[in-house]
Structure 1
């Protein structure tokens, strides 16, 4: 696979999520509930793609970084998918069925927020390990991408994909992952030509 294609592919999940974030309702109420539910059904297979991108970026990492990073990427996919199902699909369904927000929605969001925070924390751990592995492999070439990925991963802890911050966060994830992929490939090419 070409270096630029791999760099693009690891950016695709963040780019998709940024696009969906731009059309994500700012609040859940009776008027937005049908789209809220539908959007989160669409997003159900998209959110785990960030974990797939993280998993692939760890392919060349030393085992002591690769396996904890991949466990964290899996934890992100599992737990953040729970947020999408509970606060997204179930929350939208509850509001639509009850013709507005009720105390039940608070309980649904509390459960969703819990699993979402665990998932986002797992993503941050995976991001740290990806950045460390990239810097070890590519040196200073990886530092800008690592910084962008880490800042975006911290922002993701509480931004979800909501406009505007969540969209910028996902663009940062896409840019950081792409940069780290390209830096790692550049480093491998430099070693082959040396």
Structure 2
């Protein structure tokens, strides 16, 4: 079954589902009691956060170049900037809080930098998602609409929900469903001619 469209669609859902699971396990606040888990979780997430960008990159594969390349640049921007958020507001802030036995002004400064990186990354994710949706609708027509709605709503929610429980977890499930449905719709549709 590894060659089936549904199997591949399930693979496109995996990045969002992994991040939803991580969001469910993410501490609600960073303090001395949660600092170690906060740090460990963000170390584990380092290789996971780029996966949605990889899925976006692949969803753009059959798109016309004028959508494909800006979309791939935006997906790369998400991976780079959101990885920066993970390193700064995740690993560094958790480590500093653990070592200093509580949140200090240094942690506040790390969160300021991390928030900027996160907003840039989430904006890039939204931009790539918009281009994916345009390409999918051009290719698959109405079959792309369900996935388009899920992905766009989730991408807008991601701007401020990130992966935090509960909205961020639902956002990542929406990303998973949207990417999966868009891949399935695109793989079922013959390419449209202009």
TM-score, length-scaled by structure 2: 0.96
Corresponding residue for 1:179?
A: 181
Picking from 133, 136, 140, the partner of 2:135 is 133
Corresponding residue for 2:169?
A: 167
Q: Distance in 2 between matches of 1:71 and 1:23?
A: 30
The CA RMSD over aligned residues, in Å, is 1.1
Q: Distance in 1 between matches of 2:134 and 2:168?
A: 24
Corresponding residue for 1:151?
A: 153
Matches within 5 A, 1:69-84: 69-84=71-86
Q: Which residues of structure 2 form unaligned runs of 5+?
A: none
Corresponding residue for 1:57?
A: 59
Q: Distance in 1 between matches of 2:4 and 2:69?
A: 25
Moved more, 125-134 or 1-10: 1-10
1:26 match: secondary structure: coil
Corresponding residue for 1:41?
A: 43
Picking from 10, 13, 18, the partner of 1:11 is 13
Aligned length: 190
Q: Which runs of 4+ in 1 moved over 3 A?
A: none
User: Is 2:34 aligned against 1:32?
Assistant: yes
Corresponding residue for 2:25?
A: 23
Q: Distance in 1 between matches of 2:179 and 2:41?
A: 25
